[in-house]
């Protein structure tokens, strides 16, 4: 391909077809949600959001976001890690996981290495942040 950028492919960890392995985390409603007051859940959520920022700054969290609606499937993380064990260690730093408000189902996933640029691009198009 005439557009192929070998240096960029190497920087992003791309294989010969521009893909790489990630670990995807499906965030599910935890079993202990009802144990907390709305104020406590708000505090847990603030810690959850701060942890997302920390993991992104570390370069380990490529993508995160909630699903619409109020189903048991709450959101996803996509981690740039080599193993499910490494992703599990990261998810265990989340205050919502620690509190049992969320739980994770981790799966290895093969996707475009271009995802590694999402945070850089997002920073250029976001006027504000989630509170």
Tens of pLDDT, residues 94-111:
999 999 999 999 999 999
* Six token digits for residue 11: 């920087």
Q: What is the pLDDT of residue 126?
A: 87
* Six token digits for residue 123: 């920073």
- What residue has token string 């999402």? 118
Q: Which residues neighbour 65 within 8 Å (Cβ) at sequence distance 6 or greater?
A: 75, 76
Q: What is the pLDDT of residue 122?
A: 85
What's the mean pLDDT in 70-79?
Answer: 96
Q: Quick one: 128 exposed, middle or buried, by C-beta within 10 A (0-12, 13-18, 19+)? A: exposed
What's the mean pLDDT in 23-42?
Answer: 97
* Six token digits for residue 68: 């619409």
Number of C-alpha atoms within 13 angstroms, CB side, residue 102? 26
Number of C-alpha atoms within 13 angstroms, CB side, residue 129? 8
Q: What is the pLDDT of residue 129?
A: 72
Q: What is the pLDDT of residue 19?
A: 97
């Amino acid at each position: 391909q005439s557009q192929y950028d070998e240096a960029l492919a190497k920087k992003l960890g791309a294989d010969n077809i521009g893909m790489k392995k990630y670990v995807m985390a499906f965030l599910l409603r935890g079993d202990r949600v009802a144990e907390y007051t709305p104020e406590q859940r708000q505090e847990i959520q603030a810690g959850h959001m701060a942890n997302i920022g920390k993991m992104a700054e570390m370069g380990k969290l490529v993508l995160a976001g909630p699903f619409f609606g109020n189903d048991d499937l709450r959101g996803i993380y996509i981690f740039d890690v080599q193993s499910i064990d490494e992703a599990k260690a990261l998810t265990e730093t989340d205050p919502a996981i620690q509190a049992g408000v969320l739980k994770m189902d981790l799966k290895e996933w093969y996707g475009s290495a271009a995802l590694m640029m999402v945070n850089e691009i997002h920073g250029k198009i976001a006027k504000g942040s989630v509170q």
